[in-house]
Chains A and B, each alone.
Chain A
Amino acid sequence: MNKFRFQRSQLCIPYGMFLVCFVLAPLIVIIYYAFTDGEGQFTLENLMGFFSSPNTIGTLAYSLGVAVATTGICLMLAYPIAYILARSSIRHRSVVLMIFVMPMWINFTLRITALKEILTMIEGNLAYHPFLNTLIGMTYDFLPFMILPIYTTLLKLDGSLLEAAADLGADAVHTFLKVTLPLSVPGIISGIVMVFLPSMTNYVVLDMLYNSTYIMGSLIGAYFSAYDWHNGSMIALILLMIILVFTLFTNRYADEDAGSSRGGVLG
């Protein structure tokens, strides 16, 4: 009989299996379909087709536009709230925070349905402002994901740094720009990651708010339901690449910035 010896690394096996079955295997299938045509022959046509059609490129631009605008609006709304909340001395801070996070507990289709009625009441006819409505819907949906990480980072901010800055003669504006803001960059970055990427593909919001323009998510769906798995997979792959590049970029930026700001303040 073999002697069974438990090793800590064996704890990874369940997750490893999950990874292989549901991440790695589908990825290989996607790559296979992306680079083959109907007859199973290798082709780059799907790739070329994506970048040569004004419609697919337009969809990419539109999705990026939605994502950038949503992220920008979320950041502008979330930062002051997170800042006030983190720096305030109110005793029931966690209660106030909960009020912001509470919408997340309600199913999001339900929230968007309610939003639809509210917007109809305000605008009269939703069809005239599809882009604006989409931004409102996305912001509504993703705002908590921006507030939370920024709030957490600001909460951990060492108060003595602010005192030191004041002692050395920095006024409130300077303290914020030179100390608070640079130190909260990691929170901002993780907020951006959590808002930007999903808002590129969250087509349910567009559907429910009557915006008939495709974004990346719906475009993939459209190709799949037209039995064109090859083009659909290629677009999924391109989206994956964008996400990869974006994540690498933000990671690097976050590291670099955290390092330089530490140097600036403490060094």
Chain B
Amino acid sequence: MALGAVVSGAVAVCGIPGQTVCAKEAPVTLRVCSWEEYIDLGEWDGEEAIELDNGAVIFGERPLYEEFEDWYRETYGREVRVEYSCFGTNEDLYNQLNMGDTYDLVCPSEYMIMKLMAEDRLVPYSDRFYDEHDGNNYYINNVSPFIQSTLESNEIGGESWSKYAAGYMWGITGVLYNPALVTEEEASTWEIFGNPKFNRQVTLKDNVRDSYFAALGILKADVLTDDAFVQSADYHERLADVMNDVSPETIRQAQDLLNELMDNVYSLETDSGKADMITGKIVANYQWSGDAVYAMDQADEEDFELRFAVPRESTNLWFDGWVMLESGIDGDADRQHAAEAFVNFLSRTDNAVRNMYYIGYTSSIAGNEQDDTIYEYLNWCYGAEDDGDTMDYPVGYFFSGDNGDEDYIVETSRSQMGRQLYSQYPPQDIMDRTAVMRYFDAEANKAINQMWINVRCFDIHDVPFGVWMALLAGLLVLVWMGYRKSKRR
């Protein structure tokens, strides 16, 4: 008994942050929470090793969060233990945080980052994290200039996102389609979901933000595709405003439109759409670029062609980023150091490739002039020998910030247009029409959530007349039976 009390007492002392005596001996525990299947878990087969032209050999042996513990010890001479857990949706994560779960480092999507920022729940990255001279600061040295400038140019409450968030994966939204039955022209617009030609053969996404974006794309199509609008000097600001329009009038129109679309689509889905495309239940579905790549890879294995199109009106640029939580870090410098090191470790180019290979999404990491592993990985995936049927596919906008950059032009097969490379690193003309969907304030958020619930609910006015009559008849019979019974007694 006495011994037990001493032991538990010692543990309790170590649990208090700032107990420097213990902190040096006991390892820092880093509580990380991210999406499911969103980090390479290693255990690759021997022949899976990726050998790149720059000599790098990439192989996943153990889960990255375990390898991080070794790397941290070797690099900083300190012990860290990672507790890695997963969340299902941004909303689940948010609810978990409100229920009192504590994490130090989480990886939500941009709008949830904005919400957490607006609620003052995030810890800004330290200046040390952004020091480009430190060779261990892989994030700032390797992050794509395109991602970094997006993070810097978006602000909430007067502070840019880049102060609080480190990009992890990113992508756009579009339409995955079966080219045997749908033309590229038909798939390159949000209106495909209302196209009667594909009645009950297209699927929308089962969440309000994606569906609302598609609805806006249809509602505002005239403006969005107007040449004067597209060529205006402040096109990007105006585009962002249009695609974040949450005025009551627009929400009301979106509700009517989505109600109409519901009568035309096959269903709403989150995950099942990819399989349903391959089995032929549907011919087009609303898809995130990363999942589109996955679906195309799967379909290729069955000799079934799928393609990805990006609507001409606008497309949603989304990303997931690592943010540190005030509730977890709680002023503990050691913990914050470990959290920042974790982000840096994942931003090392070989680890970024491992994640991309495993997850299928596009990493925010681009490498730099000395380390072209990511670019070489692109060549490894999509490069083709010049046989007369190849084309130059510039990706400079992502790697160096200049799309004319000769160093970053992938020579690829012509058939890659509308395929995997196109989905993972869309051409610059598509990136020009991307809009980031912001976090809406509480009132607007409530309004669009209610709009979505209204769309999904059965309207009592839709009960057929016959059913009302049958109900009435049934009620009358019941009353009559009750009456007879009471009389008999």
CA–CA, A222 and B454, complex, Å: 11
Interface residues of A in 117-160 (CB under 8 A from B): 120, 125-128
* A219 in contact with B453 (CB, 8 Å): yes
**Is the beta-carbon distance between B267 and A210 smaller than 8 angstroms?**
yes
User: Which of B92, B262, B266, B457 has the most CB atoms of chain A within a 10 A radius of its CB?
Assistant: B457
By secondary structure, the B interface counts as: helix
Q: Does B457 contact A225, Cβ atoms closer than 8 Å?
A: no
A54 to B63, CA, bound (A): 51
| A55 neighbours in B (Cβ, 8 Å) | 453-454, 457-460
Contact (Cβ within 8 A) A125 B201: yes
| Residues of the A chain whose Cβ atoms lie less than 8 Å from the Cβ of B268 | 212
Chain A's closest residue to B91 (CB) is A225
Known: A58-B459, A213-B456. A127 touches B95 (CB 8 A): no
Asked if A225 and B458 sit within 8 Å, CB to CB, the answer is no
Distance, CA A212 to CA B269, complexed state (A): 9
Residues of A within 8 A of B206 (CB): 212
Minimum distance in angstroms from A96 CB to a CB of chain B = 35
A213 touches B453 (CB 8 A): no
Contact A212 B453 (CB under 8 A): no
Which residue from chain B places its CB closest to the CB of A226 in the assembled complex? B449
Is A222 touching B200 in the complex (CB atoms < 8 A)? Answer: no
Please determine whether B456 and A212 come into contact, CB atoms closer than 8 angstroms. yes
Is B281 interfacial (CB-CB < 8 Å)? yes
B487 CB within 8 Å of chain A: no
User: Binding site of A, secondary structure by majority: helix, strand, loop or mixed?
Assistant: helix
Q: Determine the residue in chain A with the shortest Cβ distance to B445.
A: A226
Is residue B446 within 8 Å, beta carbon to beta carbon, of the partner chain?
Answer: yes
A54-B461, A128-B200, A210-B266 given; A227·B456 CB < 8 A: no
Chain A, residue nearest B485 (CB) = A260
A120 to B461 Cα, complex, angstroms: 30
Interface presence of B462 (CB below 8 A): yes
Inter-subunit contact A62/B266 (CB<8 Å):
no
Q: Given A55-B453, A55-B459, A213-B458, do A226 and B91 touch, yes or no (CB 8 Å)?
A: yes
Give Cα A129–Cα B204 distance, bound, in whole angstroms. 18
What would 17 more interface pairs be, CB under 8 Å, given A128-B200, A218-B456, A225-B95? A56-B457, A57-B460, A58-B461, A59-B457, A125-B200, A126-B281, A127-B200, A127-B266, A210-B269, A212-B262, A212-B267, A213-B458, A223-B453, A225-B91, A226-B449, A227-B95, A228-B449
Listed in ascending order, the chain A residues whose CB lies under 8 Å from chain B are: 54-59, 61-62, 65, 120, 125-128, 210-214, 218-219, 222-228
Interface pairs A-B: 8 shortest CB-CB = A210-B267, A55-B457, A226-B449, A62-B458, A58-B460, A127-B200, A58-B458, A225-B91
